[in-house]
Structure 1
Amino acid sequence: MSTDRLPPAAPNPQERRHPAVRAFVVLLVAEAVFMIGLSAWFLFELVSATPTSFTSALAIFVILLIATAFVTALAIGAVRGRTWIRGGAVTWQLVQIAVAVGAFQGVFAQPAIGWCLLIPSIAVLGLLFTPAVAAVTRREV
């Protein structure tokens, strides 16, 4: 059998127990739990209150469900030590940073929400570039 077709080696179990890897996984799981809670709250609001535009509210809810599924898949992948989560984690953190920047400005600015989004996003991005997390999320080809 050719070595070109062998699956990549699993990360060293010691690397998966590193504090940076644990913090990375905990932050991704916390983001997923938050998104699940936000989806539940939005559904409750959708059925209990009368939105100005039901069609728009339903469209936002569908987008929220897609984002929740994405972040939950990332969190599950992080818990299982999958290498494919790296790009998705970077993408999600950049989306959160964009939303955080939007929360800091405008007529309806909510700086508290902005900080709650910005701090974990910067932490996850920083952890992604630590040697321990990079080793676990890197695919050796």
Structure 2
Amino acid sequence: MSNSPNVAEFDNEGSPRPRHHGLVLLLAGVLFLEATALAAATVYLVVELMVDRPDSFVSAVALTVCAAIAAVWVGAIAVNTLRGRAWIRGAAVVVQVLIAAVALGSFQGVLPRADIGWLLLFPAIAVMVLLFTKPVLAETSRRDT
């Protein structure tokens, strides 16, 4: 056993395996769920491109590519949350503000969808709150590469 409070045990290669606070694990879990939802949206958009004829093919492809990039980016934020990287806080705040903007847009317009709005807004608020808790701030303070 190591003297470090964040080291629980050793993996198969003999490297220390970090122990994470529950709030850090919850934050990473919500981020992984968001990445999974974005990946599912990307698959849906690809299927729609093959099945239906969009009004603007170029816009449909651009939206699909943006969704794929977002899925990969949010997944990278989630992985690096578990690695304790400091940059994830700023990246996660930007992503959550964008998600909240889409959620708020879902509550209004010609065809408002409050159900989708709430499904997007609740995790975004949860991530924003979790990002600034003491355990998450303490574990995401590594500045090395």
Identity %: 43
Give the 3 Å change call, closer, same or farther, for CA 101–16 of structure 1 in structure 2.
farther
Q: How much does 1:69 deviate?
A: 2.0
| Aligned partners of 1:16 and 1:81 also within 8 Å | no
Q: How many equivalent pairs are there?
A: 132
With 74-83 and 116-125 compared, the bigger mean Cα shift is at 74-83
1:60 aligns with 2:25: no
Unaligned runs of 5+ in 1: 1-9
Q: Aligned pair in 2 of structure 1 residues 112, 11: CA closer, same or farther (>3 Å)?
A: farther
SS of residue in 1 equivalent to 2:29 = helix
Higher relative contact order (CA 8 A, sep 6+): 1
1:75-114 matches, cutoff 5 A: 75-114=78-117
Which whole-Å CA distance do the structure 2 matches of 1:48 and 1:11 have between them?
54
When the two chains are superposed, the root-mean-square deviation of aligned CA atoms in Å is 2.2
Tell me which protein shows more strand as a share of its residues.
2
The match for 1:29 is 32
Letter in 1 for 2:37: F
Give me the whole-angstrom Cα distance separating, in 1, the residues matched to 2:134 and 2:99.
24
- CA shift digits 1:83-127 (9 cap, x unpaired): 221111111111111111100111111100000010001011001
State the TM-score, normalized to the length of structure 2: 0.82
Displacement after TM superposition at 1:81 (Å): 2.9
Structure 1 CA distance, aligned partners of 2:5 and 2:46? 39
Which has a greater percent of helix? Answer: 1
Structure 1 residues 140 and 56, CA gap change in structure 2 (3 angstroms): closer
